[in-house]
Amino acid sequence: MKSYKIILLFSLFSISSCSIKYSLTGASISPETKTFQVNYFQNVAALVEPGIERDFTNSLTNLLINQTSLDLVKSKGDLIYEGEITEYRISPTTATSTNTAAQNRLTISVNVRFYDKNDEEANFEKRFSFYFDYAGSSQLIGAQKDSAIEEIFERITQDVFNASLAKW
């Protein structure tokens, strides 16, 4: 029993001395990384939906707060996220026999630049995009529009997290 405790103790010391922190979310963050900042994402899409730049910036910030132990700072973060919303588009995906849309698709794309001051090889600029399909007979307004945008942002922010911290 005593040798079991020694092996367990040795294992714990070995794991805690690793140079990369792992979390239950799959993030691998170097021990030197303590802070992050999310700069305001401007909306440069041809079709402008008011407020989505604020909503996306807040969604990404909240995801990083909830899935890491890093501190949010306004400047000089160890990790920096910035970019712009480049696409907000509604388009028909299927048609009926009377040439009307049977189904429409809302697509949002975000260009993200990620900088890691402790690992410059991890830096990237990448476009992330996702969509939400809805019935062609309905209008994308009110609660349906809010839930569509929320669903899209949930997917895009998770993809940004995976690309920057989980290295997927």
User: Which pLDDT belongs to residue 8?
Assistant: 43
Q: Parse the chain into domains and list their residue ranges.
A: 2-166
pTM of the predicted protein model: 0.82
pLDDT beyond 80 at 125: yes
Which token pair is 48?
């402008």
2-166 CATH, one of 3.40.50.720, 3.30.160.150, 3.30.300.30, 3.40.50.300: 3.30.160.150
User: Which pLDDT belongs to residue 16?
Assistant: 42
Confidence of residue 3 (pLDDT cuts 50, 70, 90): low
Q: Write the DSSP assignment of 53-76 as a string of letters.
A: HHHHHHHHHHHHHHH--PEE-SSS
Q: Tell me the average pLDDT of the chain.
A: 87
**Which of the two residues, 38 and 9, has the higher pLDDT score?**
38
Mean pLDDT of 31-50: 96
Q: What is the pLDDT of residues 63-81, one digit of tens each?
A: 999 999 999 999 999 999 9
Mean pLDDT of 96-118: 91
CA dist list (Å): 113 to 19, 89, 97: 25, 22, 44
